[in-house]
Amino acid sequence: EPEVTQTPSHQVTQMGQEVILRCVPISNHLYFYWYRQILGQKVEFLVSFYNNEISEKSEIFDDQFSVERPDGSNFTLKIRSTKLEDSAMYFCASSPRTSTDTQYFGPGTRLTVL
Amino acid sequence: GESVGLHLPTLSVQEGDNSIINCAYSNSASDYFIWYKQESGKGPQFIIDIRSNMDKRQGQRVTVLLNKTVKHLSLQIAATQPGDSAVYFCAETFPGGTSYGKLTFGQGTILTVHP
Instruction: Please state, in angstroms and rounded to a whole number, the distance separating the CA atoms of residues A101 and A18.
Output: 32
Q: Residue A97's CB: how many other CB atoms inside 10 A?
A: 10
Judged against a pLDDT cut of 50, whether residue A49 lies above it is answered with: yes
Contact status of B32 with chain A (Cβ, < 8 Å): yes
CB contact under 8 A, A103 and B98: no
Question: What pLDDT digit, counting tens, does each position of A64-73 carry?
Answer: 999 999 887 8
Looking at the DSSP bridge assignments, the partners of residue A35 are A45, A91
Q: In angstroms, how far is CA B14 from the centroid of its own chain? A: 20
Confidence grade of residue A97 (pLDDT, cut at 50, 70, 90): confident
Instruction: Please state, in angstroms and rounded to a whole number, the distance separating the CA atoms of residues B34 and A41.
Output: 18
Contacts of B42 in chain A (CB under 8 A): 107-108
CB contact under 8 A, A42 and B103: no
Contact status of B95 with chain A (Cβ, < 8 Å): yes
Q: In angstroms, how far is CA A32 from the centroid of its own chain? A: 9
Task: Mutate one of A26, A100, A102, A110 to test the B interface: name it (highest B CB count within 10 A).
Answer: A100
Contact status of A26 with chain B (Cβ, < 8 Å): no
**Residues belonging to chain A:** 114
Of B31, B95, B103, the CB nearest to A103: B103
Contacts of A50 in chain B (CB under 8 A): 100
Res B96: pLDDT: 59
Cβ–Cβ under 8 Å, residues B110 and B26: no
Q: Residue B84's CB: how many other CB atoms inside 10 A?
A: 20
DSSP secondary structure string for all residues of chain B: ---EE-S-SEEEEETTS-EEEEEEE--TT--EEEEEEE-TTS--EEEEEEETT-SEEE-SSEEEEEETTTTEEEEEESS--GGG-EEEEEEEE--STT-SS--EE---EEEEEE-
Judged against a pLDDT cut of 80, whether residue A1 lies above it is answered with: no
Question: What pLDDT digit, counting tens, does each position of A22-46 carry?
Answer: 999 999 899 999 999 998 788 999 9
Cβ–Cβ under 8 Å, residues B50 and B66: yes
In chain B (115 residues long), the average pLDDT of successive 10-residue segments reads 54 96 87 92 92 94 95 96 95 70 88 94
Contact status of A99 with chain B (Cβ, < 8 Å): yes
CB contact under 8 A, A56 and B104: no
Cβ–Cβ under 8 Å, residues A77 and A65: yes
Q: What backbone torsions phi and psi does residue A13 show, to the nearest 5 degrees? A: -145, 160
